[in-house]
Amino acid sequence: MAFKFNKLVTVVTTCCLLAATEVAAILPGIWFDRFVVVVLENTNKATALGSPYYQNLTTMGMLLDGYQATTHPSQPNYITMIASTIAAGVYDDADHNSTQNNLIDLLEPAGISWRVYMEGYTPSTQGACNTISKNSTTGYVRKHNPFMSFLNIQNNTARCQNIVNAEANFASDVNKGASAPQYMYYVPNLKNDAHDTNVTYAQKDLSNIVDTMLNNKAFMNRTLILITFDENDIYTPQFYGTPNNVYSVLLGNDTLKCYGCYDQQFYNHFSQIVTIEQNWNLSTIPNLDGDGAQWDSWMLPFGMLRNKDEKICANAPCYY
């Protein structure tokens, strides 16, 4: 009997040590411990706000009313979400192989876990990066996967294995709760991101993504979610030359200072990088060109975030 008891103690102790190790692997941030971004396509802010679903999301979070995309066409906008130079030399939608540094070069040394979720993406053999430009069957396109444009990701199998098929991996990763990756980047396929359709069509997929997260209390603990669009619709003649304003909303049960509110500060896609850098006390992204400070030195982080010492849900509803 004593032997069985000692064995039980050993098992329990091992379990607890493993749990402690998992908790220790999470690097706490000032405002959040996890950042999730979901990127949709080519829609004017007014169009998105005219949809009841997207309007309702603003009541559950904070509308970044001064948020703008950085440029046109699509691909440079995605690049500027993870690189601090002007699109890392990428100015069009063609395939590029940049030697610049990127956000992953900050996250990994700090021990911040990350994963990229691409709908319709199929990794190459043994998890290597699949550099295919487009899969017409699944709706995956490389131009919406900014990580694939950097050689220090492309040529690194371990990094490539963090770029995964969204349909097969996102929900199961969210179900890991507190152990889910700390940086999660999600891009729907060409239909579900409104590129080949519209925001009404994209709503079904987006609501599934959002609900998967919001309905998991452990996952949502100190998680900040950004839903944004890559650029506005300048491809319809009546919108030529219009400001590049895009719908962008923050969601987070204990990471926002207010809900159903508006932040009028000017932000753009570079603000994502700055917010991440300052949240985890990281450096700016090293500039291999030696040109000095870049965009992540100049932009402001999102300004209405709640630090971890403030009372959870104070002056705001808990919506899960």
> Out of 93, 95, 196, 233, which one is annotated catalytic?
196
Paired tokens of 4: 């069985």
Q: Which amino acid is at 276?
A: I
| CB contact burial 27-64 (16+ within 10 A = b; e otherwise) | bebbbbbbbbbbbbbbbbbebbbebeebeebbebbbbb
Catalytic-residue membership of 93:
no
Q: Which amino acid is at 89?
A: G
* In 30-182, beta strands by DSSP E: 34-40, 62-68, 114-118, 134-135, 140-141, 163-165
Number of H-type helices and E-type strands within the chain = 12, 10
Paired tokens of 246: 């895009």
Helix (H, G, I), strand (E, B) or coil at 67: strand
Task: Give the up-direction half-sphere exposure of residue 315: CA atoms within 13 A in the CB hemisphere.
Answer: 8
CA dist 157 and 292 (Å) reads 30
Paired tokens of 76: 């440079």
Helix (H, G, I), strand (E, B) or coil at 218: helix
**Which sequence positions are flagged as catalytic?**
196
